[in-house]
Structure 1
Amino acid sequence: MSQQTLTTGDRAAIRSPWRDFLHAFVRNPLALASGGFVLLLLLVALFAPWLAPWDPMAPDWTALSAPPSGAHWMGTDDLGRDVLSRVIYGARISLYVGVVSVTLGMLVGIVLGLLAGYYGRWVDMLIMRGCDVLFAFPGMLLAIAVVAILGPGLNNVIIAVAVFSVPVFARIVRASTLSLKQAAWVDAVRCAGAPDRVILLRHILPGTLPNVIIYFTMRIGTSILTAAGLSFIGLGPEPDVPEWGNILAMSRSMMMAGLWHVSVFPGLAIFMTVLAFNLLGDALRDTLDPKLKS
């Protein structure tokens, strides 16, 4: 009986990091709310062809610049296109741009940060001075410069947003690498004859991931906002593409005529999406950062 009780107590005492993370995450109302909204947004983007009530490119000639109604819940634009359908399809494009661009910037930044933090000396100086050059430009201005060089288009917007994401990821990973490479287990593995590739990928990289995940989540919102800004000034995809920044750009002339619905709904979509990703990043930081755990 006592052995069974001891075994049960041992099992209760031994908790995996994944269970600890889930336990702390579900106890945070802000994390649940932001995570639920992000999940809903992902589902909307994934099932956009089935959720959109109208073709986002097809005009309704009987309802030009129509206000919200039973047929068009968010109204129509000056060409008779359903705003709700365009916002739903815009979620797919905006999330694609945000996730892909931040992923590319993260991968490049992780490689540069690991090399700079582990090898130091001239490698560190060369990489960090390059990051300082990128940091000298505001993010939006750097993205505009990259798109101006490459030309407008969805793929070029992704490259531009990825470029200004690289230096921050590199700095985050470099700082973690400088701390982790002095750890006792890393010295033990190095003394055992493990090559640098194994030390970096198997023993240092996992220790940098919590900070990378936190910033990755926050950066998606910033990237979506930057991509919408590029589209708004005409440096994004083609004007007919149902992207949130494009919809806002097309609605500028309609706002002067009092047609508020064409700009308000995509603006709210951008606002809520950026806010949700930022709040989710804050919740992940509170959950993953050991310094903030009570």
Structure 2
Amino acid sequence: MTTARPTSAEAAPAVSERLRQTPWPAAVWAAVAAGLLALQLGALFEFGGSIAVDTVRAFNGIEALPGRVGVETLLGFEQAAAEFPRLLSRETIPNHGYYSGESEEWVVGPVYYDGQEWVGTFLGLQPAVAWALRVVVVYAYAFAGVAWLWTGYNWYRRDYRVADWTPTDDVVDRLRSHYWGLFGLLVVLLFLTTVLFGPALATTTNQVDNVDPYSYEINYWDAEAESVETTTVGSANSQSSSTGSTNVGPMSYDDYGRFHPFGTLPGGQDLFTFIMYGARLSLIIGLITVGLTTGIAVTLAMVSAYYKGRVDLALVLLSDSIMALPGLLVIIMLSVLLGGTWLANIYSGGLLLSLIFVATGWPGLWRAIRGPTLQTVEREWVDAARGFGLRPSTIMRKHVLPYVMGYLLVYGSMSLGGVIIGIAGLSYLGLGVNPPTPEWGRAIGAGQPYIGTPSWHISIVPGVLITTVVIGFNALGDGIRDAIDPQSDTDAADTGGVERGGGA
């Protein structure tokens, strides 16, 4: 039974008053937050510093700007943050080392073990075991953060929220019973964990393995010389390529004692590291694209719905003109025409891709929310707001926008997957992100000639990941759509109280 909403200030004290009356849940939640943050504070500072350095470097390369900004201070901050201890890093749980040439023997019951002793790995474990341990710790940390957020939400509902019930409660309850949407949420959480903790999950760094491999050295055990030798990463990569005739497949070691969870690329780079770093760029481009597209489409939808007439007609003609063009050909044409401009220098061409997707994608969202916006503008409360003399911008922001937010949530979750697959498709054609920046579509293109050989993993692994991520975002969009749909209550009643679990 739902408790009636309080109707007086005495029965419904403010949140601040409730915090004073019941401080312990908030204190425990804040203490857990501080502990989780302290474990990764160095990584947070390093990530912020790297974003700042990349931004300054990108804009320093724009000839249209009159001046140049120094990056020495930012580099110093980033390096200092990199030395700050954190739980989730290759330095805390290192997975790269070399075989010492010695073996360790022991017997556990009837099982005899003759293992290799490794130097440089965590507790002397094999690189594969050390890497797997770090992956488990990373995902345990990520899901502890999710549990912390969910617990905080429930405690807020129980102890601090003024209202006993809000429409959001029904949305959350419906989403919790929507199994297809929960599957999508799980995939999205795994993808976001990959984006946030990709450098910690990777077996090495993109700088060492892909950008400048000949400037870094590794030690390895030379079986013929029976001694520990030194070589550059670039030389080791050239001898660890996957080209069909030679192959380093998934979950295997190369001749230099380096473990490759997904195998290697044709150039010998670690495919898992390539994918981890490529995921971050894909999400950044996707978020920029969805954010800009949403902002443009929502603004134009509210303007056309409020003023109607010629304004709406002009936007209809403009959107129809853009949608009548062959989308893929337009995107390819703009990528080629603008590929040599200063825009292509920002984030390895990521900003250019975002702007192209926005320019060709906003009419679809505008069309989707134009109808609901027109219906909302005709409501009584909008007429009342006009009568009170409120400005059009205030009316649209406060009295129209909240009623189309549900459409935007569904669009955002489903469009991110589409943007990711679009980026991969352009990179596959050689028109996407500038090399050597990692991108999933470039890995698929590099492995295409070897699909029928033992090096099938180069294309198949990133292809499967792209498909899974896109399905996950679409499933989450389906779940959000069904959760915010009031008809879900009717459907549940018609089926005897059994709520929907599918995504249809």
1:223 aligns with 2:419: yes
- Alignment-derived partner of residue 23 in structure 1: 173
In the alignment, does 2:365 pair up with 1:169? yes
Range that drifts further, 188-197 or 150-159: 150-159
Structure 1: which amino acid aligns with 2:466?
I
Which segments of 5 or more consecutive residues in structure 1 lack a partner in the other structure?
1-5
Shift of 1:293: 3.9
Q: Among residues 63, 85, 99, which one is paired with 2:240 in the alignment?
A: 63
Q: Deviations over 1:197-236 (max 9, x none)?
A: 1111110111111111111211111111111111111111
Please say if residues 64 and 76 of structure 1, whose CA atoms lie closer than 8 Å, have aligned partners that are also in contact.
yes
Q: Secondary structure at the match of 1:128?
A: helix
Match of 1:147 in 2: 335
Tell me if 1:76 matches 2:264.
yes
Question: What letter matches 2:300 in structure 1?
Answer: L
- How far off its partner does 1:14 sit? 5.0
Query: Is residue 77–residue 251 contact of structure 1 (8 Å, CA) maintained in 2?
Result: yes
Question: Are residues 1:9 and 2:197 paired?
Answer: no
Shift of 1:256: 5.4
1:92-112 superposed Cα distances (whole Å, 9 cap, x missing partner): 111111121111111111111
Instruction: List aligned pairs for 1:178-257, cutoff 5 A.
Output: 178-255=374-451, 257=453
Looking at structure 1, the residues matched to 366 and 487 of structure 2 have their Cα atoms a distance apart, in angstroms, of: 22
SS at match of 2:240: coil
1:266 aligns with 462
* Aligned residue identity for 1:110: V
Greater Cα shift, 8-17 or 181-190: 8-17
Give the residue type in structure 2 aligned to 1:237: V
- Give the match's secondary structure for 2:266: coil
1:40 matched to 2:190: yes
Amino acid in structure 2 at the alignment position of 1:212: L
User: Secondary structure of the residue that 1:160 maps to in structure 2?
Assistant: helix
Q: Is the 8 A contact 2:335 2:353 kept in 1?
A: yes
How far apart are 1:146 and its partner, in Å? 2.4
**What is the CA-CA distance between 1:180 and the residue it aligns to?**
0.6
Q: Aligned partners of 2:331 and 2:297: how far apart in 1?
A: 17
Whether the 8 Å contact between 1:113 and 1:173 is mirrored in structure 2 is yes
2:175 counterpart letter in structure 1 = F
SS of 1:147's partner is: helix
**Contact 1:46-1:92 within 8 A present in 2 as well:** yes
Task: Give the counterpart of 1:289 among 485, 488, 496.
Answer: 485
Mapped contact 2:451–2:460 kept (Cα < 8 A): no
Q: Give RMSD over aligned pairs.
A: 2.0
The alpha carbon displacement at 1:16 in A equals 0.6
SS at match of 1:251: helix
1:128 aligns with 316
Separation in 2, partners of 1:249, 1:78: 11
Cα distance per residue 1:159-212 (max 9 Å; x no partner):
111122211121223212210111011111111111111111110111111111
Aligned twin of 2:471: 275
Between 139-148 and 118-127, the greater mean CA deviation after superposition: 139-148
- With 201-210 and 161-170 compared, the bigger mean Cα shift is at 161-170
Task: State the match for 2:66 in structure 1.
Answer: none
Residues 1:99 and 1:180: Cα distance change in structure 2 (over 3 Å): same
Larger % of strand: which? 2
Q: Which has the higher contact order (CA 8 A, sep 6+)?
A: 1
Letter in 2 for 1:51: L
Q: Counterpart of 1:10 in structure 2: which amino acid?
A: A
More displaced stretch, 119-128 vs 153-162: 153-162
Amino acid at match of 2:386: R
Counterpart residue identity of residue 118, structure 1 = Y
Give the CA deviation at 1:257. Answer: 4.4
Change beyond 3 A, Cα 1:138–1:257: same
- Matched to 1:28, the amino acid is H
Whole-Å Cα distance in 2 between the matches of residues 46 and 9 of structure 1?
40
User: Which of residues 92, 95, 98 in structure 1 aligns to 2:280?
Assistant: 92
Q: TM-score scaled to structure 2, two decimals? A: 0.55
Amino acid in the other structure paired with 2:249: P
Task: Tell which deviates more after alignment, 255-264 or 29-38.
Answer: 255-264
Contact residue 265 and residue 443 of structure 2 kept, 8 A: no
Larger Rg: 2
Cα offset, 1:48, TM superposition = 1.0
CA contact (8 A) 1:144 1:160 kept: no
Deviation at 1:10, TM superposition (A): 2.0
Higher helix content, 1 or 2: 1
User: What TM-score does the superposition give when structure 1 sets the normalisation length?
Assistant: 0.92
Match of 2:201 among 33, 51, 76: 51
2:293 aligned residue (72, 95, 105): 105
CA drift at 1:43: 1.2
Higher alpha-carbon deviation: 221-230 or 150-159: 150-159
Change (3 A) 1:64 1:148: closer
TM superposition shift of 1:148: 2.6
Partner SS for 1:76: coil
CA–CA distance in 2 between the matches of 1:68 and 1:198?
A: 57
